[in-house]
Amino acid sequence: MESAASRQSPPGLPVPDLTPAEDQAWSALLFARRWSRGATAPLASATPVPDPLMATEGLIARSEATGWGVPPAATGEVRTLLELYLPLLPRQPMATLTLGHLGQSLDGYIATARGESCYVTGPANIRHLHCLRALADAVLVGAETVAADDPRLTTRLVPGDNPTRVILDPRRRLPVARQVFQDGAAPTLLVCAAGEGLPHRWGQAEVLAVPTAEDGRLRLEALVGELHRRGLRHLFVEGGGLTVSRFLAAGLLDRLHLAVAPLVIGEGRRGLSLPASPALGDCLRPSCRVFRLGADLLFDCETRPDPGEVGARAVTAQRGDNAVGAPVLSRV
């Protein structure tokens, strides 16, 4: 029988369903996400937060000292799934997190030269993208991604809410007919360079004016501050390469997920593109965990040296811990 997830898979790309055990772990993660946003009973009431707070079936637990953690009893695919996503949950209800993701070829491209990107990575990473959307308050993309792909940016392949959609289009070059401006599937913000004559709305999207720097680029720290002010604290920068690179260069990414596919594009749209470093010692060499996503490898990189309050760590995740066993997702 066709399942809810596979029914909504992109044409020609059957995305694997969560197994029943993974589905239970995913429910626990969604519970924890709601809790951390203050939408669940212990925080909504005046009652002090229980410590430890246990989520669904005791699959994950939170303590003030260590944040969210995987109990030792969790094994195999469930443990791997929790280890991958638990660091994306805020340690404290008001904590912020900004995560970037790119799916790239072995030679570092995210699309062909003419902008074709469906699909660089395989079905397991496409499902992963939908998981990242479901865990985020807002998903952000650059104008070129909306121009090339006309994406919906909704959560369709796993259970979870649609995040607010934030489109960075400083010069207002995107036509109003794009799906994100028309379908009403989620609140949508069109981010434009502050200036005269901006409309209040573009289709169903609210227009948000953001100041620009001397080089004409949007001041991303101002944008992030405004999103936080609106209660959008967990931001997911989904692409493309220019947009993720600008967040990284501005020091605004806490984590970066790079999914590397066994594919050689040759020449195309670059993934990361940063100002040149004169010496290797000056280059960013983030601490990484590596997961297998079907045929792709996912590098989960900590791109801020001191995450502090940002993002809880998977307290039981150990480097070199080979929880292999699931063909879709496993630790390397």
Ligand X SMILES: NC(=O)c1ccc[n+]([C@@H]2O[C@H](COP(=O)([O-])OP(=O)(O)OC[C@H]3O[C@@H](n4cnc5c(N)ncnc54)[C@H](OP(=O)(O)O)[C@@H]3O)[C@@H](O)[C@H]2O)c1
Q: Give the nearest distance from C-beta 179 to ligand X in angstroms.
A: 14
With CB under 6 A as the contact rule, which of the stretches 25-33, 63-71, 237-245, 318-326 interacts with ligand X? 237-245
- Kindly tell me which residue out of 4, 7, 173, 321 binds ligand X, with binding defined by CB under 6 A: 173
Indicate whether 123 belongs to the interface with ligand X (CB under 6 A). no
Indicate whether 111 belongs to the interface with ligand X (CB under 6 A). yes
Distance of CA 219 to the CA centre of its chain: 21
Work out the end-to-end distance of the chain between its first and last CA atoms, rounded to an integer number of angstroms: 32
Q: Give the nearest distance from C-beta 184 to ligand X in angstroms.
A: 22
If the CB atoms of residues 91 and 156 are measured against ligand X, the closer one turns out to be 156
Indicate whether 178 belongs to the interface with ligand X (CB under 6 A). no
What are the DSSP calls for 58-99, one per residue? GSSEEETTTEEE--TT--HHHHHHHHHHGGGS-SSTT--EEE
Residue 132's alpha-carbon distances to 73, 98, 197, 327, in angstroms, are 25, 11, 35, 20
Q: Give the nearest distance from C-beta 195 to ligand X in angstroms.
A: 13
The count of chain residues that interact with ligand X, using the rule CB under 6 A, is 30
Q: Give the nearest distance from C-beta 285 to ligand X in angstroms.
A: 22
The kind and range of the H/E element at 309 are none
- Could you give the string, one character per residue 62-91, with x where binding to ligand X holds by CB under 6 A and - elsewhere? ------------------------------
- Kindly tell me which residue out of 22, 83, 149, 302 binds ligand X, with binding defined by CB under 6 A: 149
Nearest to 309 by CA among 36, 28, 58, 48: 36
Indicate whether 143 belongs to the interface with ligand X (CB under 6 A). yes
Contacts of 107 (CB under 8 A, 6+ apart): 264, 265, 266
Indicate whether 120 belongs to the interface with ligand X (CB under 6 A). yes
With CB under 6 A as the contact rule, which of the stretches 195-203, 225-233, 234-242, 321-329 interacts with ligand X? 234-242
* 320 backbone dihedrals φ, ψ, rounded to 5°: 85, 5
Residues 96-114: b if buried by 16+ CB within 10 A, e if exposed: bbbbbbbbbbeebbbbeee
Query: Alpha helix (H) ranges present in 187-260?
Result: 220-229, 241-249
Is the omega angle on the peptide bond into residue 52 within 30 degrees of 0, that is, cis? yes
If the CB atoms of residues 168 and 293 are measured against ligand X, the closer one turns out to be 168
Q: Which residues bind ligand X (CB under 6 A)?
A: 102-103, 110-111, 115, 117, 120, 141-145, 148-149, 168-171, 173, 217-218, 220, 238-243, 246, 269
